[in-house]
């Protein structure tokens, strides 16, 4: 051992006395003088290491077969991290494991054990190994994880693609190797790069990364060279070294298109090295997925919004045609049950992202009839959300699109007034007091479309399903609301009216807007329904509604398709 | 005769019709002096207010389902340590204790209507998470017979029909994919 090595060992020992670094020991730790002005520091963590480097979990960890729920971590240290005369030439983490079944042939069903340092996932994104063999995976350790505090906290996430026992692995050791030199020379700057293609990528494009700066590339004016480490995700869901994925080894700034396949993702890490062998911070570039222009994980061919990473899928409800909302407006009194005080045909569109969360809701309605003398409005409530959740909202009527703010005064519910006064939308004319409720009164229905998007996409199970919570309200007495049966009133409803007159609501039991005989004031009908004429009881217009309702829906399920034609509007 | 009846309805309603409500908050629709004649071809004696619906009746005519779908292998059973299933297992309904298939795949849910026609537009499209699972929320009309779930799993298309009565919290979608593990 050289004198200098002895000095190094002594300094480590001294530091042990002054800090927590050596309160316990890794299994092995040494610094070797390479004789050329450089030194190599190694530190190995094994099952024999002790706190704070490693605390063996009970029943798993190093030298134990460990499963998906038995993730664990350990800590490397480099006590000379803050010596300004030490500059790093390389920093490598080598992990040796047994039976790492991460062969690309497994697709997304293999054993993928991720390694993170100081909370940042490393590249390659998993331990690279094969069935029933020992394997070694090399990771470039980010300099920032060394230089910040000298502690390199490593975490192993076992079998990331399963949430049950499928794959297990055993680690023998984790070896940190840092080569550094004692010099006043400074490392090069982090490279600035451009790359092509940087938006839409096809399999006919070469992948090229180009160094664009900075100038100078090194604070001492040293010449700088760059190394390129290429990774690819061939369908495993994680990046691995190109060679591990069966590709050629790429060491330059280009991957030719002949090496790429539809559906792959590519990534490259560029590390600068100056003429003294010092390395600087690296830069990583991830190319857009081949065939996934917005890089949201959904291939363009499956993506309804291939250039919008916030949107991927659209679901129409109903899938074709329209459904009908029909309201009586005399609540809490029973109405005349012609169910035409407001009739509208509608469909919703629910737009979700690649994680199936709802980003946007579209509502398209055709307001067909107004059989009410009273001025009513129509609104939609999305229970469980607030106006602060809204990114933007707009409404389109008669070809004019305007922004629309949520109605104020609500908490824990997001309410949009789609139409404030149905008389304005559907005015009386032609000698008819109402709108499309009497024989001979045939006016063009009114189309209104409404759309809003959430700031952050929301869980569809919280949002619920169409038609959400639609309701009418009295334009000049906002507290009067009429909802579909068992849909709750909003905060602006006059709660004192609940359970009065003919209404048998009981908010404590979630019972709303039904009579004591369970009759509703509004219906959502799974058809483009033709409503009864004015003051024609719905049972006269649709006789099968009676056995349908009294049988709890077990018979006459298509009652809405069997009208008495002379009793309903436009049935003949 | 029908024309005559229509005319009577029209004239009467034009003269006397009233809305479901009035501008006065407490008023009901005024009774017309001469209510319009209505046809009750089936001689239904009841009015809507005569109906007594059961307490738990779902007036909405559709059912909202909140389920989780999980891809499973038709070939491997994790209960028996990854042993292959019996040769005739493919004719059985996939079970959740069969080995799961991990990975992100496109899932489409189609409706089967009351006449057993498959609706060609999906009622839901989404993508499984890395565990091969997909939480789904959707409505289907009560008179539909069920749903068909399609999953494109690379070169394999998995298809599973689920009757409306069998749409439960967790649905296994079987695929002809063999899955390995250390079990």
Token output for A414: 């997001």
Are A334 and B6 within 8 A, CB to CB? no
Query: Which pLDDT does position A385 carry in this prediction?
Result: 97
Chain B residues touching A545 at Cβ < 8 A: 48, 51
Mutation test of the interface with chain A: which of B6, B29, B165, choosing the one with the most A Cβ atoms within 10 A?
B29
Q: What is the C-alpha separation between A355 and B127, in angstroms, rounded?
A: 7
B91 CA: distance to closest CA in chain A (Å): 24
Please check whether residue B153 is in contact with residue B105, taking contact to mean a CB–CB distance below 8 angstroms: yes
Over its C-alpha atoms, chain A yields an Rg (Å, rounded) of 34
What span, in angstroms and rounded, lies between the C-alpha atoms of A471 and A464? 16
Residue-wise pLDDT for A6-55, tens only, equals: 333 333 333 444 444 444 578 899 999 999 999 999 999 999 999 999 99
Q: In a 3-state reduction of DSSP, which class is residue A422?
A: helix
Distance, CA of A170 to CA of A153 (rounded, Å): 19
Of the candidates A358, A362, A231, the one whose C-alpha atom is nearest the C-alpha of residue A284 is: A231
A558–B contact, CB cutoff 8 A: yes
In this structure, what token pair is assigned to residue A207?
């992948």
**CB atoms < 10 A from the CB of B90, how many?**
12
When CB atoms are compared, the residue of A524, A550, A557 closest to B53 is A550
Q: Give the Cα separation of A296 and A337 in Å (integer).
A: 50
Determine the pLDDT at residue A27: 84
Q: Chain A residues with CB inside 8 Å of B59's CB?
A: 484-485, 520, 523-524, 549
Query: Rounded CA gap, A292 and A264, in Å?
Result: 9
Q: Which one-letter DSSP state was computed for residue A53?
A: T
pLDDT above 90 coverage of chain B, percent = 38
Put simply, whether B138 touches A (Cβ < 8 Å) is yes
Interface of A with B in 282-301 (CB under 8 A): 297-298
CB contact under 8 A, B38 and A431: no
Mean predicted lDDT score pLDDT of chain A: 92
Domain B66-175: CATH superfamily is: Carboxypeptidase-like, regulatory domain (2.60.40.1120)
Return the residue of A nearest to B121 by Cα: A319
CA–centroid distance for B64 within its chain: 7
Residue A440 φ then ψ, to 5°: 90, -15
Beta-carbon contacts of A457 under 8 Å, excluding residues fewer than 6 positions away, are A310, A352, A353, A355, A357, A358, A359
d(CA B76, CA B182): 13
Positions in chain A short of pLDDT 50: 1-23
Return the pLDDT at B78: 60
Q: What residue in B sits closest to A337 (Cα-Cα)?
A: B48
User: What's the CA dihedral at A571, A572, B4, B10 to 10 degrees?
Assistant: 40
Whether A533 sits inside 8 A of B122 (CB atoms) is: no
Residue B87 has pLDDT above 80, yes or no: no
pLDDT for the residue numbered B79: 53
Asked: is A3-182 a CATH 2.40.160 domain? The reply is no
**Under 8 Å between Cβ of A535 and B18:** yes
Question: Which region holds residue A510: left if phi is over 0, alpha if psi is between -120 and 50, else beta?
Answer: left
Determine contact, residues A442/A410, Cβ cutoff 8 Å. Answer: no
- The answer to whether residue B1 scores a pLDDT higher than 70 is no
Residues A418, A119: Cα–Cα separation, whole Å: 47
A343 has a chain B CB within 8 A of its CB: no
Q: Does B35 touch chain A (CB under 8 A)?
A: yes
Kindly report the length of chain B.
183
Strands A240-241 and A283-286: unpaired
Instruction: Kindly tell me the sign of the dihedral angle through the C-alpha atoms of B125, B129, B131, B135.
Output: negative
A362 Cα to chain B: minimum distance (Å): 15
B21 reaches A (C-beta below 8 A): yes
Q: Name the maximum alpha-carbon separation found in chain B.
A: 83
SS3 content of chain B, % helix, strand, coil (to 5): 15, 35, 50
Query: What six digits make up the tokens of B105?
Result: 């795949």
Q: Please name the member of A333, A440, A550 whose beta carbon is closest to the beta carbon of B10.
A: A440
Per-residue pLDDT reduced to its tens digit, B20-60: 443 434 333 444 433 444 444 444 446 899 998 998 888 98
Largest CA distance in chain A: 110
Q: Where are the domains of chain A?
A: 3-182, 192-286, 313-530
- pLDDT class for B15, splitting at 50, 70, 90? very low
Distance CA B45, CA B25 (A): 31
**Which candidate, A438, A415, A463, places its Cα nearest to that of A566?**
A438
The whole-angstrom distance between B126's CA and the closest CA on chain A is 6
Which A-chain residues 530-549 have CB contacts (< 8 A) with chain B? 533-541, 543, 545-546, 549
Contact A298 B39 (CB under 8 A): no
Task: Convert the pLDDT of each residue in A358-369 to its tens digit.
Answer: 999 999 999 999
Q: What is the location of CATH 2.60.40.1120 in chain B?
A: 66-175
- Output the pTM of the full model: 0.83
**Binary contact (B28, A336; C-beta < 8 A):** yes
Chain B residues with CB-CB distance to A526 below 8 A: 61-62, 141-142
Residue A249: what are its φ and ψ, rounded to 5°?
-85, 125
Q: Band of the pLDDT at B16, cuts 50, 70, 90?
A: very low
As a whole-number percent, the residues of chain B with pLDDT over 70 amount to 63
Nearest-CA neighbor of B44 among A534, A558, A543?
A543
Contact B60 A524 (CB under 8 A): yes
Q: Which residues lie below 8 Å from residue B61, measured CB to CB, with a gap of 6+?
A: A524, A525, A526, A553, A557, B141, B142, B143
Can you give the C-alpha Rg of chain B in angstroms?
A: 27
Instruction: Give A83's contacts (C-beta < 8 A, 6+ positions apart).
Output: none
Model pLDDT, residue B8: 39
**Whether B10 and A375 lie within 8 Å, measured CB to CB:** no
Class of domain A192-286: mainly beta
Q: For position B96, what pLDDT does the model report?
A: 66
Q: Return the C-alpha torsion angle A553, A555, A560, A565, nearest 10.
A: -150
Q: Which residues pair with A447 in a beta bridge?
A: A366
Closest CA to A250 of A277, A225, A224, A232: A232
Residue A405 touches chain B, beta carbons under 8 Å? no
- Tokens standing for B40? 């009750």
Mind spelling out the 3-state secondary structure of A193-241? Answer: EEEECCCCCCCCCCEEEEEEECCCCCCCCCCEEEEEEEEEECCCCCCEE
Q: Phi then psi for A413, rounded to 5 degrees?
A: -155, 140
């Amino acid at each position: 051992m050289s004198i200098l090595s002895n000095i190094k060992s002594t300094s480590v020992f001294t530091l042990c006395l002054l800090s927590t670094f050596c309160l316990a020991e890794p299994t092995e730790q040494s610094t070797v003088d390479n004789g050329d002005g450089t030194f190599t520091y190694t530190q190995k963590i094994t099952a024999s290491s002790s706190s704070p480097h490693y605390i063996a979990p009970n029943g798993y960890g190093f030298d134990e077969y460990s499963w998906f729920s038995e993730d664990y971590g350990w800590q490397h240290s480099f006590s000379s991290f803050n010596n300004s005369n030490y500059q790093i030439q390389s920093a490598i983490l080598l992990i040796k494991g047994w039976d790492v079944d991460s062969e690309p042939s497994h697709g997304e069903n293999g054993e993928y054990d991720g390694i993170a340092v100081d909370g940042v996932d490393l590249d390659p994104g998993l331990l690279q190994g094969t069935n029933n063999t020992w394997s070694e995976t090399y990771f470039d350790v980010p300099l920032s994880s060394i230089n910040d505090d000298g502690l390199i906290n490593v975490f192993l996430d076992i079998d990331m693609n399963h949430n049950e026992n499928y794959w297990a692995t055993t680690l023998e050791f984790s070896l940190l190797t840092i080569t550094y030199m004692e010099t006043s020379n400074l490392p090069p700057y982090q490279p600035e790069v451009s790359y092509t293609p940087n938006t839409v990528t096809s399999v006919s494009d070469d992948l090229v990364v180009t160094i664009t700066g900075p100038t100078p590339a090194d604070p001492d004016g040293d010449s700088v060279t760059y190394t390129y480490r290429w990774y690819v995700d061939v369908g495993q869901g994680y990046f691995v070294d190109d060679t591990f994925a069966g590709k050629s080894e790429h060491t330059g700034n280009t991957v030719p298109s002949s090496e790429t396949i539809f559906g792959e993702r590519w990534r490259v890490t560029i590390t600068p090295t100056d003429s003294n062998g010092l390395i600087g911070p690296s830069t990583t570039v991830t190319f857009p997925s081949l065939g996934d222009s917005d890089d949201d994980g959904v291939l363009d061919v499956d993506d309804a919004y291939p250039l919008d990473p916030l949107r991927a899928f659209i679901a129409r409800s109903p899938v074709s045609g329209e459904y009908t909302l029909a309201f009586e407006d005399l609540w809490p009194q029973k109405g005349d049950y012609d169910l035409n005080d407001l009739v509208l045909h509608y469909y919703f569109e629910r737009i979700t992202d690649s994680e199936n969360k709802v980003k946007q809701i579209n509502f398209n309605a055709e307001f067909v009839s107004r059989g009410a003398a009273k001025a009513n409005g129509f609104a939609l409530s999305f229970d469980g959300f607030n106006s602060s959740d809204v990114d933007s909202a707009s409404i389109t009527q008669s070809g004019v699109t305007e922004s629309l703010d949520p109605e104020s005064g609500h908490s824990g519910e997001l309410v949009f007034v789609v139409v404030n006064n149905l008389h304005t939308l559907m005015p009386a004319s032609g000698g008819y007091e109402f709108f499309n409720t009497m024989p001979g009164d045939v006016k063009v229905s009114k189309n209104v479309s409404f759309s809003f998007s959430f700031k952050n996409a929301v869980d569809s199970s919280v949002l619920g399903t169409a038609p959400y919570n639609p309701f009418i309200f009295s334009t000049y007495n906002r507290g009067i609301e009429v909802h579909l049966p068992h849909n709750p009133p909003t905060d602006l409803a006059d709660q004192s009216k609940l359970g009065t007159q003919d209404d048998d609501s009981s908010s404590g039991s979630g019972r709303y807007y039904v009579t004591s005989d369970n009759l509703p004031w509004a219906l959502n009908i799974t058809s483009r329904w033709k409503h009864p004429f004015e003051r024609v009881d719905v049972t006269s217009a649709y006789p099968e509604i009676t056995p349908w309702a009294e049988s709890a829906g077990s018979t006459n399920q298509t009652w809405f398709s069997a009208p008495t034609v002379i009793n309903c509007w436009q049935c003949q | 005769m029908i024309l005559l009846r229509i005319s009577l309805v029209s004239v009467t309603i034009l003269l006397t019709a009233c809305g479901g409500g009035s501008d006065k908050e407490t008023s009901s629709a005024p009774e017309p002096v001469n209510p319009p004649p209505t046809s009750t071809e089936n001689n239904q004696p009841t009015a809507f207010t005569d109906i007594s619906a059961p307490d738990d009746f779902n007036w909405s005519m559709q059912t909202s389902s909140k389920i989780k779908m999980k891809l499973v292998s038709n070939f491997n059973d994790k209960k028996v340590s990854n042993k292959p299933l019996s040769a005739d297992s493919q004719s059985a309904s996939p079970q959740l204790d069969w080995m799961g298939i991990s990975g992100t795949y496109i899932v489409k849910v189609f409706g089967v209507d009351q006449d057993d026609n498959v609706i060609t537009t999906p009622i839901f499209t989404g993508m499984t998470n890395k565990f091969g699972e997909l939480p789904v929320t959707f409505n289907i009309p009560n008179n539909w017979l069920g749903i068909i779930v399609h999953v494109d799993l690379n070169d394999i298309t998995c298809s599973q029909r689920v009757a409306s009565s069998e749409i439960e919290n967790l649905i296994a979608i079987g695929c002809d994919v063999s899955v390995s593990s250390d079990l």
